[in-house]
Amino acid sequence: MKSFDYITLRDRAELKNSAAEWFHCKWGVPTEAYLECMEAYLKKETEYGWYLCMNGDKIVGGMGVIENDFHDRKDLTPNVCAVYTEKDYRCKGIAGHLLNMVVDDMKSKDITPIYLVTDHTNFYERYGWEFLCMVQGDDEPKMTRMYIHR
């Protein structure tokens, strides 16, 4: 079984630019928006972090924590965002490991509960997330599922 390295961006700050570009390529959010959040985390202006799975020098999975993930429920914060695993690396437990890492990190900083929005069903429940409600995404025609981890 392949062993991956799971890190926070604070562990490998030199990955900031490549991580911001990697997330941009996956989600289309401007690289500058990722850099702004990542810089605040690296400067310890926030504890909302960035988490990566590395296969050698290659980012193969990642996610972040931000104030709001582009939805109308500004009171439900912080949000896990930009959850992504490269197609060739899916079904290897990477996203689940990263989710658990985020939950543990946030709890260690007394940041709980945390939230996430997704169209997926049955995936997040495996990692202790509970469906909370439907939310309206910014510029989205349909409502989206909001999950909570307490």
Q: Where are the domains of the chain?
A: 5-111
Sign of the CA dihedral 10, 11, 16, 20?
negative
Specify which residues 144 forms β-bridges with.
135
Nearest to 128 by CA among 105, 103, 106, 110: 103
Q: How far apart are CA 53 and CA 26, in angstroms?
A: 15
- Residue 57's SS3 state is coil
Q: Which fold has domain 5-111?
A: Aminopeptidase (3.40.630)
Residues 6+ apart with CB under 8 A from 109: 47
pTM exceeds 0.85, yes or no = yes
State which amino acid sits at residue 88: D
Residues 6+ apart with CB under 8 A from 107: none
Residues 6+ apart with CB under 8 A from 17: 35
- Residue 89's SS3 state is helix
Q: Digits of tens for pLDDT over the chain (150 positions)?
A: 468 999 999 999 999 999 999 999 999 999 999 999 999 999 999 999 999 999 999 999 999 999 999 999 999 999 999 999 999 999 999 999 999 999 999 999 999 999 999 999 889 999 999 999 999 999 889 999 999 999
